[in-house]
Structure 1
Amino acid sequence: MFHASTVSFLKELKKNNNKTWFDDHKAKYLSAKIDFENFVRELIVKISAFDDDIKELQPKNCTFRINRDIRFSKDKTPYKTNMGASFNRGGKKSIFAGYYFHLEPGGKSFAGGGLWMPEPIALKKLRQEIDYCFPEFKKIITSSSFKKQYPGLEMDQKQMLVNVPKGYDKENPAAAFLKLKSFVATKDIRDTLLSNKDLVKEAEQAFRALMPLVKFINRSME
């Protein structure tokens, strides 16, 4: 669970997203940062209980900077209005699939994970694995434990090919999934849960249900 001050800091930052305000409230930010890192530390312990690939991680391997990269963005606000952590084998910058927690008050917090926009070589390997092992893949994403936590894999048309990739038949049973460029599932976390003692348990359950998919994806890259 998060301290109320952490949630309120992010809400205030959203209304005052500028360097002057941030510098004046640096102490609140540092307090929120420590609070988030402590939460991440708890999640590492929980995830490690069912995924050994995570047990060597430290919060610094998982958390992201609050500063935005505005070099190529039309939006020049300097700070993110969320705090995020990615739990992946080898750390947040690795090529492997993993788990993700996103803290953003205002109904935008979520837990989930998978693999976001992999490089072409990795994507080709994963598509091949899905094609070869589609019954196994389908069983994972239609299992009761997965469906209890997630509505399914995200099927955003903006993140999909229009046609089945070259080399695959359009009648392939896995066609809809072979078109994907990302393989991600997310579960919304309501604001009332952010400062509740059950938050860690809620995230843990979401990640545990995602583990078979994470392992399937990572197997394709080994």
Structure 2
Amino acid sequence: MTTKPASKAALTASTLDFLRDLVENNHREWFQANRNRYDAAKTELCGVVERVLVGMSEFEPLAKTAVKDCIFRINRDIRFSKDKAPYKSNLAFAIGPGGRHSGRIDYYVQIQPGNQSFLGAGMWQPTPTNLAKFRQEVDYNVDELKEIIEADEFKAYFPEASGEVMKTSPKGYSADHPEIELLRRKELFFIHRYSDKDVLKPNFADELIRGCRIIKPYCDFLNYLFFDEKEEPVTL
């Protein structure tokens, strides 16, 4: 009798152990001595990303998106940082058309031990133009957005809204506006957190797919608003 091999689309405890050890030994000499452990962790991550891409292709246009284009480098950019630790303490990837540099609202996954792993998506560091579009949509036609983010399934899976919020009202909007809480938001990014136990489950990739499917309407809403909506011609 043969034992069925472990799923290639799953993470193991060794990956989380590597990340924990990296936090305690964040320097080039240790990393190079443990390069085989990083390579093994990255291979596991690639398996998860591949499974997520296949599953999400049922509802996202990802046909030309390669696994390698989705995964972020573990090296940190320390040129302008006071923290000179050369490596990130997590593994991360983003799913969008063409990978992590799609230029659109995509789906971000971060794997970090200590129950800090999460799936997130939404408006993060928008350009002034896109933020203005968001506020105008909230002012003129908030119903579509609220229908998405206040749906029971959405709120149950993404209970946490992250991002910067203004303390005062944005220019052009009164403090008593009925949607002032949304208008004050400079970012509106939703997160679902996973415990280490969740991350190590054989079906973790499928759970990520489920989460992406739930938050897809919000991503679609923003992508249309920021990138796809055609400007109405001005008539004189």
2:97 to 84, 89, 94: 89
Give 5+ residue unaligned stretches, structure 1. Answer: none
Give deviations 1:106-129, integer Å, cap 9, x for gaps: 111011211311121222222222
1:218 to 223, 233, 236: 223
2:209 to 180, 199, 204: 204
Give deviations 1:153-197, integer Å, cap 9, x for gaps: 22x5xx112222212232222221122122211111010122211
Give the residue type in structure 2 aligned to 1:23: Q
Alignment of 1:154-173 (within 5 A): 154=162, 156=163, 159-173=164-178
How many residue pairs get matched? 218
Rate the CA distance shift 1:164–1:48 in 2: closer, same or farther, 3 A. farther
Question: Which deviates the most, 114-123 or 99-108?
Answer: 114-123
- Identical amino acids, percent of aligned pairs: 35
Question: What is the deviation of 1:90?
Answer: 4.3
Counterpart CA distance in 1 for 2:63 and 2:134 is 25
Give the residue type in structure 1 aligned to 2:115: G
Counterpart CA distance in 1 for 2:172 and 2:67 is 41
Output the TM-score relative to the length of structure 2: 0.86
- Give the 3-state SS of the residue equivalent to 1:113 in structure 2: strand
Contact kept in structure 1, 2:160 and 2:192, CA below 8 Å = no
Counterpart CA distance in 1 for 2:179 and 2:93 is 31
Counterpart CA distance in 1 for 2:220 and 2:74 is 29
Contact kept in structure 1, 2:49 and 2:205, CA below 8 Å = no
Larger radius of gyration: 2
Rate the CA distance shift 1:117–1:197 in 2: closer, same or farther, 3 A. same
Contact kept in structure 1, 2:66 and 2:98, CA below 8 Å = no
Counterpart CA distance in 1 for 2:77 and 2:63 is 30
Counterpart CA distance in 2 for 1:55 and 1:164 is 43
Match of 1:122 in 2: 130
Match of 2:20 in 1: 11
Counterpart CA distance in 2 for 1:19 and 1:4 is 23
Question: Which deviates the most, 116-125 or 142-151?
Answer: 116-125
Match of 1:176 in 2: 181
Counterpart CA distance in 2 for 1:112 and 1:76 is 27
Give the residue type in structure 2 aligned to 1:49: E
Counterpart CA distance in 2 for 1:113 and 1:181 is 15
- Give the 3-state SS of the residue equivalent to 1:84 in structure 2: strand
Counterpart CA distance in 2 for 1:64 and 1:131 is 36
